[in-house]
A and B are shown apart, each in its own frame.
Chain A
Amino acid sequence: MTPGQRRWVFLVAGIGFVAFFLWGLSGLPGFGNYPGPYGPAILRVAVAQTRATGVVSAINFDYRGFDTVGEEFILFAAAAGVSIVLRRLRGEHERSALDQAADRHVPSTSDAVRMVALLFTGPVVVAGWWLASHAQTSPSGGFQGGVVLATAFVLIYLAGEFLVFKRFSPVTLTDVVEAVGAGGFAAVGLSAVLMGLPYLTNFLPLGQVPGAVSSSGTIALISFFVGLEVAAAFILIVGELLEQTLLIRRGGS
């Protein structure tokens, strides 16, 4: 195909795209005008029905809990995929990159970075845990809390070394925590089935006061499990990538 013909193909396709795009835009509701009945309806009943003032969490972990189970297992599968693709193959042995160039001077992490990372680790753990345990009363939740918790382990790596990171997050323990988190969510749903209720029905006592941390029944419990799963999944992924970067793998004979 000559450049001239190519240009024509692009022009026709481009004009067609722009036309359909503008046509689609013209059919959209005005900015900020949500026309559906679902949003206003759920905002009216959510707090009374679930005793959770974090309505986003009430939707994620209760009304649309089934969607969220799927999303959680997407992350679970992604972490499993990373572990499988980056696993140590049979006959491969690993050694630290430092062993190969022992005479080369490796610049150490600056004291400023270590100090800041060390200072932030504690508060980040508290913040992550707070976010994961307050889904029912604030716009947070297990996902956000879990990622923040995983960030604490990245800070541990920055403040110390790869080996310290490994000591704080041994793979077997992280695997177990991830499985407990993913399985716990599914198990909460199955518990409802065992009681003769639909899957993921909020079967726990809701509590009396909307906005209390102990209120909202299974919403808080599911958020806790999601927090565990997400934190462990991100620690696993970052750990695998660190291992890939910092260790040298050589195939055996």
Chain B
Amino acid sequence: MSLLTAAHTPYTVPLAMMDALQITILVLVAAGATAVVLIREPVRQVLALTVYGVLLAVLFLAFQAPDVTLSELTVGAVVLPVVLLLTLAKVRKREE
């Protein structure tokens, strides 16, 4: 049970490697967010947002929050794109 206290967090990979992983994923998330903002075509933007959602999920995993990873994966990479794509389909149908 003492393994659960903060002082004894068992790292199975060297700390430096963990740091490198965290920095890499932070940079990727920043790049992903910028891409989502810069892409202007709605359908492509949704696809970029989906990739961004997956990146965020990996970020949460790298920062030891697997529960948030699960939520982000399901909501950010599945439900949100479905809702947005359906909305786009509806809006475009009206434009025709």
Contacts and interface: CB of A to CB of B under 8 A. Distances in A.
Do A and B interact with each other, yes or no? yes
Interface string A53-64: 001110000000
Nearest to A55: B4
Nearest to B70: A144
Of A48, A144, A148, the most chain B CB neighbours within 10 A belong to A144
Contact of A43 (B6, B89, B93): B6
B95 interface: no
A131 interface: yes
A238 B71 CA distance: 17
Interface residues of B, number: 19
A97 B93 contact: yes
Contact of A241 (B1, B71, B78, B86): B86
A147 B78 contact: yes
Nearest to A241: B86
Interface string A223-250: 0000000000010011001101100000
B86 A56 contact: no
- For chain A, what secondary structure do more than half of its interface residues adopt (helix, strand, loop), or is it mixed? helix
A244 B85 CA distance: 12
A215 interface: no
A139 B6 contact: no
A44 interface: yes
A139 B79 contact: no
Nearest to A44: B5
Interface in A40-56: 40, 43-44, 46-48, 55-56
Interface string A186-217: 00000000000000000000000000000000
A192 to B, nearest CB: 25
B86 A43 contact: no
Contact of A242 (B5, B66, B86): B86
Given A147-B74, A148-B74, A245 B82 contact: no
B75 interface: yes
12 contacts: A43-B4, A44-B4, A44-B5, A46-B4, A47-B4, A131-B70, A140-B67, A144-B70, A147-B71, A238-B86, A241-B82, A245-B86
